[in-house]
A and B are shown apart, each in its own frame.
Chain A
């Protein structure tokens, strides 16, 4: 196959490209949905995508296909060049790419189990048993839904700059939604697991126990009173701090930071400035093995590494592709990502993390006279203004978290203002896998962090 890919790159060069790359993604995926103990759908799929980018007189052309035949690759290469040439007269400022070292590498699954080799019945049994564990707990559990997905994605990159990379990325995820009902009252809890792993995820995490705990939480919410509302001291759990990490990280992508007119463009020209409280360190790390958005090389063949985005509250760096790195006079950071080869790579978050500090949970709450502790995430709208719906809360009174369960409130944050009311950062850590969607693109990402204490936060 390599010979066909080289021919396609040669075609682009013959037609005048100063740079060209071919990306191929072959995705082996299984999706399964179980509702109330019944398998509602099982969708295995194999998807091949090919994308060819060509740079002509500083303008990109891009074309994609779903075949690796010689004819289709050559035609796609020609189409990419046609598009680049058509744009050459538009007067847009030319694209230049930051230099990268050429890499030839092959990254296999190695110790990680290959989901393609696990029989479907075994995957189903794990999900069905987890579903049964939730449903048999109590007759008030009225609905259980388990959405399972595993994939093995083979990625291939060949470029005129000498990148020749083959990488296999595994991924497994499970989303659990448990609904309990008593009379007219209905309550729902949601749990998520995801990792760049095969069935190890299910062995490590114990989905049966997770399903049982979520069902217990849903049942306890049936008797829960409404949370208080207003501005008050709030301790948030790892899921919510992970969401905050992700939102800040997103604003540090070079594309958004280059758009001062956008709501998310608030980090425009803010490198080196204090943007968050001193207690916050935020890192984006695609190289951490096992996290949902882990990879060795990004879509441009740049090796991934941890990037300090915020250190002691100061904005230290943007997430870059080769193109944005050149514009900013810096090196690419290994954050050029795309859902598959038929999308152009853009700077994108991977695994965002708020660094733990030194407050134990008891120390976080002991200074709170009257406030709440909020846990879990049902959903959120993200941007500079984040509004998220939480699963549940507990009152904090005179330095103690009470056992009483409250219905999860919504909390609203202006990331640039409200984060300055964080006055204590916990010493623990956990992460929340998420799916970031933008138009027809969807990225697996994660946000993680410790418990955080806000001296004052808006609770709705």
Chain B
């Protein structure tokens, strides 16, 4: 998993990467520092709720299928990308991150993760081992 997500975790400014299933369970989490782990309190349920809300908004706004959700704040950016209706990839980054490059790396990471998701199903449930 570290290898798959290395493109994200190595990018300047990225301070958290979380993968949640659609029940709100965190299947994987990485934080750059213990301070980030303390300060970034995003829960799996929050991610699921945000994704569903955004999907509904996208439908009502007639903008087509959801690719990602970008939330920009005064200190950084938070991005959600759905992975095949089964998982959600969440990345948080501060202002040092190059947003254009971050989106490129999220796309690549999502493609690799969806390849993993397609192959690994254990006992009827899909888990991502850290």
Q: Mark A183-217, 1 if CB is under 8 A from B, else 0.
A: 00000000000000001111100101000000000
Interface locus among B16-24, B45-53, B98-106? B98-106
Whether B103 lies near A206 (C-beta < 8 A) is: yes
Whether A129 lies near B104 (C-beta < 8 A) is: yes
Whether B104 lies near A199 (C-beta < 8 A) is: no
Whether A125 lies near B104 (C-beta < 8 A) is: yes
Which secondary structure dominates chain B's binding surface? helix
Whether B104 lies near A208 (C-beta < 8 A) is: yes
Total contacting residues, chain B, CB less than 8 A: 9
Whether A203 lies near B99 (C-beta < 8 A) is: yes
Q: Mark A314-340, 1 if CB is under 8 A from B, else 0.
A: 000000000000000000000000000
**Is A118 in contact with chain B by the CB < 8 A criterion?**
yes
**Is A403 in contact with chain B by the CB < 8 A criterion?**
no
Whether A126 lies near B99 (C-beta < 8 A) is: no
- Which residue, B67, B100, B104, B108, has most C-beta atoms of chain A within 10 A? B100
Which secondary structure dominates chain A's binding surface? helix
Q: Mark A122-152, 1 if CB is under 8 A from B, else 0.
A: 1001100110000000000000000000000
Q: Mark B93-124, 1 if CB is under 8 A from A, else 0.
A: 00000111101100110000000000000000
Q: Mark B50-90, 1 if CB is under 8 A from A, else 0.
A: 00000000000000000100000000000000000000000
- List, in ascending order, chain A residues with CB within 8 A of B104's CB: 125-126, 129-130, 208
Whether A199 lies near B108 (C-beta < 8 A) is: no
Whether B107 lies near A199 (C-beta < 8 A) is: no
- List, in ascending order, chain B residues with CB within 8 A of A202's CB: 100-101
- List, in ascending order, chain A residues with CB within 8 A of B100's CB: 126, 199-203
Whether B101 lies near A200 (C-beta < 8 A) is: no
Query: Could you list 8 A-B pairs, sorted by A, with CB under 8 Å?
Result: A125-B101, A126-B101, A126-B104, A130-B104, A200-B99, A202-B101, A206-B103, A208-B107
Given contacts A126-B101, A199-B100, A206-B103, 10 further A-B contacts (CB under 8 A): A122-B98, A122-B101, A125-B104, A129-B108, A130-B104, A199-B98, A199-B101, A200-B100, A203-B100, A206-B67
Give the B-binding residues of A (Cβ under 8 A).
Answer: 118, 122, 125-126, 129-130, 199-203, 206, 208
